[in-house]
Structure 1
Amino acid sequence: MKAIHRARSRFALALLSSLVAGVCSAQPIIGLITKTETNPFFVKMKEGAEAEAKKLGATLLTASGKFDGDNASQVTAIENMVAAGAKTILITPSDAKAIVPAIKKAQAQGVMVIALDSPTDPENAADALFATNNYKAGELVGAYARAALQGKKPVVATLDLFPGHPVGAQRHNGFLKGFGLPSFDAKSNELARPDAVVCMADTHGDRAKGQTAMENCLQKNPSINVVYTINEPAAAGAYNALKAAGKEKDVLIVSVDGGCEGVANVGKGVIAATSQQYPLRMAAMGVAAGVEYAKTGRKVSGYTDTGVELIAAKPVPGVPSKDVDFGLANCWGKR
């Protein structure tokens, strides 16, 4: 009797496993790989992907690098997700070039790969890119800074990301273009440096490094009156350095991101203006495209602009902007 009972139990378990597998196989499996799991930008991106996956009946797998620039972990995540049956992988590439072979290997197995936020290098290595127009984001804050300077001679510092990164280059060069200074176009990964830019420094988007970079720039030229930063943590660090030097009221800081802390700093006057991007929207659009691919076999391709808005506490003539309340209603991260 015990043997019969065990046989029946094994049969029931096998049947249950078969039923579960059948249900799971009907659900599209989509992977999301972010640069890190702690950055509020990527936390919001994950929230957007989870909500859209639940809405559309998809299974979402998630992974991230251990730090910004951790290509090895992203390669492993792609391999694991392909093995788990993912037919679409959404990725924010930590290393735009180094990740390409892993992407190509996944594509050869029928997986659609969509880059979110940051392009691959070359951009067409991924099937599609859903991202902020980073050049436009730079142009918006550049145009704002020029108007807010009210005809004063610009003495500019740029606190950038690190050399060769597409997003860093696009924001930097877009800022210069919006300001009316000589610049490179949106396809360049090089950073333009016209005469008005008296200091350029890498911050890796980090607050502490932003502060150190600003301190060094002030030593080079204490007359700086405009500071562009790659993101809002770097802007907060720059402000700390300016305040310590008693110059916080004399220097205009503009940035890009649109996180809740950054928008709040616009309201406080720490940052004059920021270009807000929308990570939740990027991820939701990516999941929707993945579900469509699973159902119909149709792939998305090319670049899709996920939107950007200039957030400013004090509007300036000729430069459209949204107020801080709008920014806070659409921000991400801790308030």
Structure 2
Amino acid sequence: MRKVMTSAALTALAASLSLGVVQAQSSAQPIIGLITKTDTNPFFVKMKEGAQKEATRLGAKLLTAAGKADGDNAGQVAAIENMVAAGARTILITPSDSKAIVPAIAKARAAGVMVIALDSPTEPASAVDALFATNNYQAGILIGQWAKKAMGSKKPVIATLDLFPGHPVGIARHNGFLAGFGTKGITASTTALVNTGVACAQDSFGDQTKGQTAMENCLQKNPDINIVYTINEPAAAGAYQALKAAGKEKNVLIVSVDGGCAGVRNVEGGVIGATSQQYPLKMAAMGVAAGVTYAKTGKKVSGYTDTGVTLITNKAMSGVKSQNGKFGLANCWGQ
């Protein structure tokens, strides 16, 4: 009888200890990692700000890291490994190399870490648990539709200042712009860069100086260019400098994507005709909240969540929904 009671008591004690471990794990401070492409781009600075604010609000510990430059996959791989070792239950990442980062993400997920991509998808998209990002194709559609209306009866001579070869965000924005402008045969599922009707296409790497050089190259190739699509607003600022140096800034329409404060001020100043604004703070805050939920309940998020995009312009066009520069400045990021 004593043995039976002792066995029952031990069973109850083991259950109690097990429950205590589970409760201790769920009550421990959740550790969330955020890895961005760089720590200097205002977009990622705002993303980090949003993540830290939400982590503080929810009582989580935030670890942060970034590549040395856009495209630094090795730096991001090292950051993932370090964060897993530090006990992160969730890692949020803006992948610099959408394919090369996948093996490192797979190792982290195999260790029980939830991985959420922010802003940029991985290839394949299923390499992460979820994606919180702008619909980059729709961002391109909006500026393409606006540009088409703004050009009116003028014959378009288009230059595109893109990101760099193969990047899914660059392809989605570029193709979206052309689709919005009226190029046939493009859909959100088109994975190859389409250049139908484009007079000049150059890579800018999202950089102002390289954007200026790219625009100079395009003007040498075709001095009649009258509309310029740029991957982001730093590239747009570079394009404007090249056009101004050539005395063509008043006759060329520039459209872009980002919605940073500097870019919106350029909309206000007439440098950029229209830009599609995205919301990095929202992406990061949603990611942190999902990470805290996972740490406490074990429930993972999945699939794609659209974090929104708004066309910003001071020259509204009929049939194209937009907000003015005042709205853009109230919701922008960066300096």
* 2:316 is the alignment partner of 1:291: no
Cross-structure match for 1:247: 248
Paired amino acid for 1:218? L
What is the match of residue 47 of structure 1?
49
Structure 2 alignment gaps of length 5 or more: 1-23
Aligned ranges 1:107-186 → 2 under 5 Å: 107-186=109-188
- Runs of 4 or more consecutive aligned structure 1 residues displaced over 2 Å after TM superposition: 22-25, 182-189
Q: 1:209 matched to which residue of 2?
A: 210
Q: Which runs of 5+ in 1 are unaligned?
A: 1-21
Q: Give the Cα separation in 2 of the matches to 1:83 and 1:330.
A: 36
Aligned residues: CA RMSD? 1.3
Displacement of 1:189: 3.3
Do 2:143 and 2:177's aligned partners in 1 also have CA atoms closer than 8 Å?
yes
Q: Give the 3-state SS of the residue equivalent to 1:325 in structure 2.
A: helix
Aligned to 2:107: 105
> Is residue 26–residue 295 contact of structure 2 (8 Å, CA) maintained in 1?
no
Q: Distance in 1 between matches of 2:297 and 2:176?
A: 38
Distance, in Å, in 1 between the alignment partners of 2:215 and 2:192 is: 21
Q: For 1:229 and 1:23, locate their aligned partners in 2 and report how far apart those are by CA, in whole Å.
A: 48
State the distance in 2 between where 1:182 and 1:244 align: 34
User: TM-score normalized by structure 1?
Assistant: 0.91
Shift of 1:182: 2.8
Letter in 2 for 1:143: Q
Partner of 2:8: none
Question: 1:295, 1:66 → 2: CA distance?
Answer: 33
- State how far apart, in whole Å, the 1-side matches of 2:205 and 2:121 are: 17
How far off is 1:296 after superposition?
1.1
How many positions carry a matched residue from both structures?
312
Q: Distance in 1 between matches of 2:179 and 2:42?
A: 29
SS in 2 for 1:32: strand
Show the counterpart of 2:305: 304
Residue 255 of structure 2 is aligned to residue 232 of structure 1: no
Report the CA distance between 1:183 and its aligned residue. 4.9
Query: Could you tell me how far apart the structure 2 residues matched to 1:301 and 1:79 are?
Result: 22
CA deviation map 1:195-247 (0-9, x unaligned): x2100000000111111111111111111111000000000000111111111
Give the secondary-structure state (helix, strand or coil) at the position aligned to 1:265. helix
Equivalent pair of 2:161/2:230 in contact (CA under 8 Å):
yes
- Structure-2 residue corresponding to 1:14: none
Whether the aligned pair in 1 keeps the contact of 2:27 and 2:296 (CA below 8 Å) is: no
Counterpart position of 2:9: none
Q: TM-score normalised to the size of structure 2? A: 0.91
SS state of the match for residue 274, structure 1?
A: strand
Deviation at 1:25, TM superposition (A): 6.9
Deviations 1:272-321 (A, max 9, x none): 00000000000000000001111111110010000000000111111111
Q: 1: distance between equivalents of 2:218 and 2:324? A: 30
Residue 24 (structure 1) shift: 11
Instruction: Report whether the alignment pairs 1:272 with 2:273.
Output: yes
- Verify the 8 A CA contact 1:176 1:183 in the aligned structure 2: no
Deviation at 1:151, TM superposition (A): 2.0
State the partner residue of 1:193. Answer: 195
Judge conservation of contact 1:183–1:193 (CA < 8 Å) in 2: no
- Match of 1:113, SS state, is strand
Tell me if the contact between 2:26 and 2:296 (Cα under 8 Å) persists in the aligned partners.
Answer: no
Alignment check: 8 A CA contact 1:32 1:62 kept:
yes
Which residue number corresponds to residue 326 of structure 2?
A: 325
CA drift of 1:193 comes to 1.0
- What does the per-residue CA deviation read over 1:162-211, in whole Å, with 9 as the maximum and x for residues that have no partner? 110000000000000000113532233321011x2100000000111111
Distance, in Å, in 2 between the alignment partners of 1:53 and 1:24 is: 16
Q: Deviations over 1:75-120 (max 9, x none)?
A: 1110111111101000000100000000000000100000000000
CA distances 1:101-160 after superposition (whole Å, capped 9, x unpaired): 000000001000000000001111010000000000000000000000012111100000
**Alpha-carbon distance in structure 2 between the residues aligned to 1:232 and 1:174:** 17
Q: What letter matches 1:270 in structure 2? A: V
Identity fraction in percent: 74
